[in-house]
């Protein structure tokens, strides 16, 4: 299964609040105080991490091409991870439900989990498939 298809929904949902108030000139490299800009920058951070994860995901799928059983289990693991990411971040942002902080807390959580997942897949690639240096 293609990962981008799985991810399509959360991305649409996360970016929906931005459509109402289009932000094009925010400098996310500087500390921001307006909640709308904080939300926007957190969303950009998550999207960058998510794109990186998609690349590592495809790289892993390709590396597993000759191991059909492992590849099937990998795809199942990624779906389970996505469910974990979404419910965990729903929980972490839960205390801000309905508030202006919700979006930033949710996407910050999603970015943190995505960074950890990238590391996990990179370790697998290096230590099980000799793609990169294994430091386990």
- Tell me which residues touch other proteins (CB under 8 A): 35, 38, 42, 67, 69-70, 73-74, 76-77, 79-81, 83-84, 86-88, 90-92, 94-96, 101, 104-105, 108-109, 112, 116, 120, 124, 127-130, 134, 136
Instruction: State in angstroms the smallest separation of the CB of 85 from other proteins.
Output: 8
DSSP single-letter state for residue 67 = -
Minimum distance from residue 28 beta carbon to other proteins (Å): 13
Task: For the CB of residue 39, give the shortest distance to other proteins in the complex, in Å.
Answer: 9
The residue among 4 and 35 lying less far from other proteins, judged by its C-beta, is 35
Q: How far is CA 131 from CA 59, 79, 117, 118, 128, in A?
A: 9, 23, 16, 14, 8
- Contacts for 35 with CB less than 8 Å, ≥ 6 apart: 100, 101, 104
Cα–Cα distance measured from residue 79 to residue 55, given in angstroms and rounded to the nearest whole number: 16
């Amino acid at each position: 299964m293609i990962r981008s298809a799985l991810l399509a929904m959360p991305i649409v949902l996360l970016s929906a609040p931005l459509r109402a108030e289009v932000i094009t000139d925010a400098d996310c490299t500087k500390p921001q105080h307006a909640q709308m800009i904080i939300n926007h920058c957190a969303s950009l951070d998550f999207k960058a991490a998510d794109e990186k994860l998609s690349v590592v995901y495809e790289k892993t799928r390709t590396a597993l091409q000759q191991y059909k059983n492992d590849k099937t289990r990998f795809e199942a693991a990624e779906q389970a991870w996505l469910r974990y990411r979404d419910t965990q971040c729903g929980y972490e942002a839960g205390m801000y439900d309905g508030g202006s902080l919700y979006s930033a807390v949710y996407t910050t959580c999603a970015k943190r989990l995505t960074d950890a997942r990238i590391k996990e897949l990179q370790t697998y690639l290096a230590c099980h498939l000799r793609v990169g240096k294994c430091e386990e």
